[in-house]
Structures are given as C-alpha cells and as structure tokens.
Amino acid sequence: MNAQRLLATFCDLVRIDSLSREEADVAAYCKQALEKAGCLVRVDDSAAATGSNTGNLIAYLPAKGIEEASSGARVPTIYFSAHMDTVGPGRGVEPIIGEDGILRSAGATVLGGDDKAGVAAIIEMIRALGEDSRPHPRIGVLFSTCEEISLLGACAMDTSDFDGEPCFVLDAGGKPGSVIIGSPYHYGFTATFTGKAAHAGILPEEGISAIALASRAVLALELGRLDAFTTVNVGTIEGGIADNIVPETCVITGEFRTLSSERAARMQKEMEDRIRAVTEGADASVELTWLVDFEGFSRSEDDPLVRLVLEQARSLGLHAETAFSGGGSDANILNRKGLSPIVLGTGMTDVHSTRESLAIKDLEDLCLLSEALVYALQRQ
C-alpha cells in the first residue's frame, strides 16, 4: 500500500460531486484508475432502472500466478464492494487534514467518507496487488450507484457473474477490524385515511377528521426501539386543506426494521391490525400499502469467513469485533443476488452530517485489511 497515494485518491474522490443519481463523474474517475491498474472495467445498464446518469461500475483484476481454470470452469473470485454516491449537502466538498490526522470537510458539507473511504481503499488495494509479486486470485470490484436511496444501484445490478463468492462490503461505521454480521429487513408503509369533510364552524359533528384517525393510529403503534434488533418509526404526516374544514384525508408514512423474516411478518400484521382498528365502526377507511425496501441478512460468529476477517484484523493489530447494524447496505441486496457478503467497518464517523470525519490511519488500516484478506483467502 502506498499511503500517500491512498490519501490523494480519497481527496480526489470527495472533491468530485456525486450525489445519488449524479455519480457519472466519480464513475469515470474510478474507471480510469482501475483500468490503469490492470482491471477490465464495464459500466452496466442499470441507469435506466435507477435514474442515475451512469450505471454501476463492475471491474475484474485478473488472477496472478495461479493456474488457469479448466475450460468451462468458473474462475474463483473475491469481490469487494462500495458505493459511489453521497448524501447532501455534498456539492463542493473540500477536505482538510487536521493536526490530529483527521480528515474533515472545510465547509458546510458532508465529507463523503460514506462511502468514498471504501472506494479509495479498494482502488489502492487493486494498485498494490498489481505491484506485488505474490500470486492472488481474480478480484471483482462492485461500485454501485444510488445506495443512499433504497440501494437502487445494487438492486438493478446484473447477477449472472455471482455464484456464492465472498464479498467484502466496505461501508459501515466502526473502526477497521469491526465486522457487521447482520443487518435488518426494512419495511416501509403508507397509510391513507379517508374521513368526511364538513365545515368546521357550522357542522363539525357531520365531519370525520382523517387527521384525528391518523393520530389515533400513530398512538396505537409502539414506536422507537422495541428490542435490540427491532425499531419502528412514523416519519411523516400530512393532511387537510384549510383550518375551517374538517380534514377528509390524511397520509402517514413510516417504517420498521427487524433482523428476522419471521419477526418481520409478525410486525407487519400487528401494525396493520392496529392501524385498521381506528376506522372500525366509523364511516371512514384506510388504504395501507407496504414496500419491502430490502431484506435482511445474518451470519454466525462461527462462520469461517467471519473468523478469517477477525483473524486478519488481529494480525494487523486492529481491534476485532462483530456487531449487528440497524441500517442497510448493498450487502442486503448482494446477499440475495448470489454473493456471500460481509460488511467491514471503515472508520467513518458522524456520517450524513456536516460533522463527518475520517482518521487517515483508519483509511490506511482499511486498505491493509482488504489486502490481507485477499492473500489469506489465496492461501486457503
């Protein structure tokens, strides 16, 4: 690993605006860097599905010093994944390096370490592998678009190349050495209440307030953290057209997250029952729709791939630990698309805020760990 080059790559990347659906410029930068490092690179046709101005970037670094697979056999591959988009405010990012060795944004923007730390570490790892004389297997690189908006890029990614291979997703909080072994199912809902309009000052008793119905539904739901792996939230409520009209319609939206499919099914039914109950016996109705944003995944702490990551982290002097995440990542999608993903901590801190920061040492450790994983799997 060339630490100076890694830092320069990260700073280059964060200076390129790449809000969701606007990733073309950063994709072009990554394509050029990976091709120069010896990768075969293509951009898929997912833009038609995601609305981005580019597709996902998919690259392969050919194996080195390994016998070619026999005719017709699949080439063993290790995948690394990160996403190219950032949240706002993310235009005009200028990184600064503090005397404490911490990278921050100079202005009122995010830094973009989520997830350009992962992108930069993977690019530098690919360069380092190419410059090292040691043999290595084929490396696949997956740089997705639109991760920050319901993982749309990964959802639209072609799955034909995937066959259960390990995939390290560099996209989590926590220091390098931390391993996310589980991430939740994410269900979103929209409930549209229909009551009866009436003049609020002349005949309010003839009206049925849709806002009141929606409010009762919100109060009927258990919100917040229900257990270690389950959360519920109502995020928006909108209804009514004027203060002197009993509101005829009101819409609430919300979500729940939980780690198991069985708990998700129970949660969905229980929440539906509570929401629908507020209109029973009234001349009112509610239309309820659900969207499964992404499915969860989990791995055992005894999983051989998990143990391998922890062992390699410890060998580098990193604090190795496992954790579950309350958020989603491309791993949730890649898991059901045929890969075997594990999410790695990158050191990103205070993401999705203007306080975001990243320690240079964490960026370096992330790259070193990624490289160590390649050689560890090669020895197996």
Residues serving a catalytic function are: 85, 147
**Which residues, 6+ apart, have CB-to-CB distance to 356 below 8 Å?**
104, 105, 110, 111, 112, 113, 114, 348, 349, 350
Residue-by-residue DSSP string for 190-249? EEEEE-B-EETTT-GGG-B-HHHHHHHHHHHS--EEEETTEEEEEEEEEE-S-TTEE-SE
- As a dihedral over the C-alpha atoms of residue 165, residue 170, residue 173, residue 179, rounded to 10 degrees, the angle is 30
Residue 230 bridge partners (DSSP): 227
* Distances from the Cα of 374 to the Cα of 127, 134, 186, 368, angstroms: 13, 11, 31, 10
Q: What is the DSSP pairing of strand 321-324 with strand 178-183?
A: parallel
Cβ of 11: how many Cβ atoms within 10 Å? 17
Q: Are 249 and 194 in contact (CB under 8 A)?
A: yes
Q: Token pair of 180, please?
A: 């996310």
How many Å is the maximal CA-CA distance in the chain?
Answer: 86
Q: Token pair of 128, please?
A: 């380092």
